[in-house]
Each structure stands twice: as C-alpha cells, then as structure tokens.
Amino acid sequence: MQAFSEPRATKQRQAIYAALQGDTSHPTAEEIYLKVKRQLPHISLGTVYRNLKLLVEQNLVKEIAVAEGPARYDFRTDDHQHFLCDTCGRVYDLKVSLGLQLRELERTGFTVQRRQLVLYGLCPRCRQAASVPTSTRA
Ligand SMILES: [Zn+2]
Ligand SMILES: [Zn+2]
C-alpha cells in the first residue's frame, strides 16, 4: 500500500476518479484509461486497473460485473440496479426496488450481504431500430 501514498499515484487515482464523475455510460477500465490518458499520457492500463480496484474497495466507485465482457464502473455508489443492452452494450441505471424480495429472503432464513442485479435485453433505442418500420411516425 506504500505506493498509493506516493504523490504521483494519488494524482493518477484522482484523475481516474474525476474521469468517472458524471459519466452515466458505465465505462470499462479500458474506456476510463483512454479518457485519463489524454490528461496523463504516461499512465498505463495496469495502473488504471489497480486504482479502480482501490476506489472500489474504498466504496468511492462501484464495479458492475457483467455476464460477458469486462466489468463496468459506476460513479454512483447508491443502491441501484442495471440493465445491459445485448445489442449496443449500453448500461442503464434502473430504479427497481428489491426491498420486498429481500424481506422475503430474510424471512426464509437467508442473509443477503451483497446485491447486484443486472438485467439483460434490448434497450428502447435498439428495440426501435430493430422493429420493422410499419409506422410512418418515425
Ligand atoms: Zn441498445
Ligand atoms: Zn449505475
């Protein structure tokens, strides 16, 4: 952990954290790397991974493990769920409440310690693009 108190490492971590703020696209580590690289040209992908891991451990960012492909990162650390579009790969924030289901689980003897729900399917944009244009409204 010594390395993280080094000023350069802190600067890199701050840049990574800053790059994520307000980014609702839920970028991958590689996308974050490309963004931060514009500001810190010497940063490596490995450094980005290391710092992301640390930010996740500190609860400053959220890691979203997905069924296929690399993990996505979220600056929102509040309790919310995700929808991943199979076609375009966009990740959307969902306001799905798990409260009732969780209470039912607890009632039947389960203790939930972590939760992460990712729903997969077709997003509105892709659904519209995929549908046969029968309407003249479009
Ligand atoms: Zn889509
Ligand atoms: Zn999110």
**From-to residues of CATH 1.10.10.10 in the chain:** 1-78
How far does residue 17's CA lie from ligand 2's centre (Å)? 15
User: How far is 123 from 132, CA to CA, in rounded Å?
Assistant: 16
Count of Cβ atoms closer than 10 Å to residue 129 Cβ? 13
How far does residue 122's CA lie from ligand 1's centre (Å)? 6
Candidates 7, 5, 12; CA nearest to 50 is: 12
Residues around ion ligand 2, judged by CB within 5 A, are 74, 76, 93
**From-to residues of CATH 3.30.1490.190 in the chain:** 79-131
CATH C-level class of 1-78: mainly alpha
Superfamily the domain 79-131 falls into: Ferric-uptake regulator, C-terminal dimerisarion domain (3.30.1490.190)
Q: Can you give the pLDDT of all 138 residues of the chain as single tens digits?
A: 444 556 767 899 999 999 999 999 999 999 999 999 999 999 999 999 999 999 999 999 999 999 889 999 999 998 889 999 999 999 999 987 788 888 999 999 999 888 888 999 999 999 999 886 655 554
Render pLDDT for 13-37 as a digit per residue (tens, 0 to 9).
Answer: 999 999 999 999 999 999 999 999 9
User: How far is 49 from 2, CA to CA, in rounded Å?
Assistant: 17
How far does residue 121's CA lie from ligand 2's centre (Å)? 16
Ligand nearest to the CA of 122: 1
Ligand nearest to the CA of 124: 1
